[in-house]
Chain A
Amino acid sequence: KQEVTQIPAALSVPEGENLVLNCSFTDSAIYNLQWFRQDPGKGLTSLLLIQSSQREQTSGRLNASLDKSSGRSTLYIAASQPGDSATYLCAVAPGGGNKLTFGTGTQLKVEL
């Protein structure tokens, strides 16, 4: 059974800092990995999707990397802003399937 863990569970940083969120998964037979953002009481916004054959994806200040063999992904946020405050979730899609397994989430707070 796939298990997805995110570290840290919570993070508080001053505005402007670069930061890294971590996601690890136990079964490396994934099809892709996706990073989402969730604001309090809201649904999910997809940030980046990395196919299993890719090593990284970039969108603006966000960069996600994937090391499938070691079961790890990182989300790098450059020059953090208060508007980045949210919970970040990673999710993996299995090879040959369509059911996502979500990580435990990292609650990020960027302070002025």
Chain B
Amino acid sequence: GAVVSQHPSRVICKSGTSVKIECRSLDFQATTMFWYRQFPKQSLMLMATSNEGSKATYEQGVEKDKFLINHASLTLSTLTVTSAHPEDSSFYICSAELTSGGSYNEQFFGPGTRLTVL
């Protein structure tokens, strides 16, 4: 149980285009999902918290107009990189929170999406 998928796993796009990445919780509902970015040989940096039915909360320094997040259902959050540039090339990972009824909801991670902007 607690499986999270991402699509696509890899995407190559031209500079100036927009790219959408999907994050799905396959066997549970997730009110909250998170989007992370990871540069080569570096750790995960939280970009934003995605809340079902409301606006995402972005971390300091993350451009909300560049990284559009939509959490339209309890099993799907999407990250759209708008007007992508080569510096947006990175590994994007999402996670979904499994509500346990306790005081802590564990996050389960997707397999990641490799974005390359030419």
Report which A residues bind B (CB closer than 8 A): 31-32, 36, 41-46, 49, 89, 91, 93, 98-105, 107
Interface contacts beyond A98-B97, A98-B104, A105-B41: sample of 9 additional A-B pairs, CB < 8 Å, sorted by A: A42-B111, A42-B112, A43-B6, A43-B111, A45-B109, A91-B44, A93-B104, A105-B43, A107-B41
B42 at the interface (CB under 8 A from A): yes
Docked Cα-Cα span, A42 to B4, in Å, equals 13
Docked Cα-Cα span, A91 to B45, in Å, equals 11
Smallest beta-carbon distance B51→chain A, Å:
11
Interface contacts (Cβ under 8 Å), in number, total 52
A-B contact pairs, 24 of them (CB 8 A): A31-B103, A31-B104, A41-B112, A41-B114, A42-B112, A43-B6, A43-B109, A44-B44, A44-B93, A44-B95, A46-B106, A49-B106, A89-B44, A91-B44, A98-B97, A98-B104, A98-B105, A98-B107, A100-B107, A102-B43, A102-B45, A104-B42, A104-B43, A105-B42
B56 at the interface (CB under 8 A from A): no
Cβ–Cβ contact B93 & A43, under 8 A: yes
The one of A43, A98, A100 in contact with B110, judged by C-beta atoms closer than 8 angstroms, is A43
- 6 smallest beta-carbon distances between A and B, as pairs: A43-B111, A44-B109, A102-B43, A102-B44, A43-B109, A43-B112
Q: Is the interface of B mostly helix, strand, loop or mixed?
A: strand
B77 at the interface (CB under 8 A from A): no
Chain B residue nearest in CB terms to A32 = B104
Docked Cα-Cα span, A46 to B95, in Å, equals 12
Smallest beta-carbon distance B109→chain A, Å:
4
Residues facing A in B50-73 (CB within 8 A) are none
Cβ–Cβ contact B43 & A100, under 8 A: no
B32 at the interface (CB under 8 A from A): yes
Docked Cα-Cα span, A67 to B17, in Å, equals 48
Residues facing A in B2-61 (CB within 8 A) are 4, 6, 32, 34, 41-46, 49
